């Protein structure tokens, strides 16, 4: 029985929740995540990330100082707010996330992915009735609702979100660096324990401990806006 979902569910519901989570984090989900690099393409151009080792260091840093302190704990709060039907808290955390997007590209990425996921959920008749999605819902806010409607336990939702982020970043690297898929799998093995640790920490942080500290990523993202040759939108 789940401990973070009211009422508990049976094995069939557990299985459906797992499949719903896999659907949400699949690279085949048609929301366009493949088009964004979150500043990683600029890090390649600037020579900050050049190989498997430096990519692993970059990803570990973004996970520790970014995802762990921003998206993941916000996802906890948003999913709990959706379960409770707390519209005010949903709007508050959606706005908090928007305020933490440090460049135009990062803000646009969050908005576009959120809008794309909302359109997909609408086509599946899975949009919330009351409270509805905030008009400017970002990706984390919509993902939290999708996890809620799929009855995915909070911890598993965080693991899935973190996995989707890592998989997308490695896909970016395989396209833009001379990095083979075997090297990408070595990085998965290196970073899997870090994903679990990030979720543990995100679940433990208080509201006053949140906020990303990623000046390098913010700089890379800002420089990407005028980068001459680009494969990705961010």
In the block, residue with structure tokens 């543990």: 200
CA dihedral 23, 29, 34, 37 (to 10 degrees): -50
Q: Give the confidence band of 130 by pLDDT, cuts at 50, 70, 90.
A: confident
pLDDT at residue 226 in the model: 79
DSSP type of residue 67: I
CB atoms near residue 137 (< 10 Å): 25
CB atoms near residue 204 (< 10 Å): 9
pLDDT at residue 160 in the model: 97
Instruction: For 173-229, write each residue's pLDDT tens digit.
Output: 999 898 999 999 999 999 999 999 999 999 999 999 999 999 999 898 888 887 767
Q: Give the confidence band of 11 by pLDDT, cuts at 50, 70, 90.
A: confident
pTM confidence score: 0.92
- The percentage of the chain sitting over the pLDDT mark of 70, rounded to a whole number, equals 94
Has residue 92 got a pLDDT over 50?
Answer: yes
Mean pLDDT of 150-154: 95
Choice between 1 and 46, residue whose per-residue pLDDT is larger:
46
Task: Give dist(CA 71, CA 93) in Å, integer.
Answer: 10
Has residue 5 got a pLDDT over 50?
Answer: no
pLDDT at residue 1 in the model: 36
pLDDT at residue 33 in the model: 85
3-state secondary structure of 200: helix
Mean pLDDT of 44-70: 96
pLDDT at residue 85 in the model: 94
pLDDT at residue 78 in the model: 97
Q: Which two three-digit tokens encode residue 192?
A: 């899997």
Q: Give the confidence band of 12 by pLDDT, cuts at 50, 70, 90.
A: confident
Query: What is the chain's mean pLDDT, rounded?
Result: 91
Report domain extents, the chain: 65-153+200-224
């Amino acid at each position: 029985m789940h401990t973070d979902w009211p009422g508990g569910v049976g094995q069939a519901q557990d299985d459906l929740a797992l499949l719903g989570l896999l659907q949400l984090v699949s690279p085949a989900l048609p929301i366009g995540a493949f088009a964004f690099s979150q500043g990683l393409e600029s890090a390649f151009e600037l020579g900050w990330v050049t190989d498997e080792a430096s990519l692993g260091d970059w990803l570990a840093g973004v996970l520790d100082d970014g995802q762990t302190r921003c998206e993941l704990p916000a996802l906890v709060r948003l999913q709990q707010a959706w379960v409770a039907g707390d519209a005010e808290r949903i709007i508050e955390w959606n706005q908090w996330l928007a305020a933490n997007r440090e460049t135009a590209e990062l803000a646009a990425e969050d908005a576009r992915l959120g809008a794309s996921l909302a359109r997909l959920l609408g086509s599946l008749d899975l949009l919330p009735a009351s409270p509805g999605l905030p008009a400017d819902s970002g990706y984390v806010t919509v993902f939290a609702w999708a996890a809620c409607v799929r009855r995915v336990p909070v911890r598993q939702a965080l693991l899935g979100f973190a996995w989707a982020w890592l998989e997308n970043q490695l896909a970016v690297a395989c396209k833009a660096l001379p990095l083979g898929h075997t090297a990408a799998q070595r990085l998965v093995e290196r970073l899997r324990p870090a994903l679990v640790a990030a979720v543990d920490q995100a679940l433990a942080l208080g509201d006053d401990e949140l906020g990303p500290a990623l000046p390098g990523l913010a700089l890379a993202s800002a420089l990407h806006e005028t980068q001459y040759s680009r494969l990705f939108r961010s």
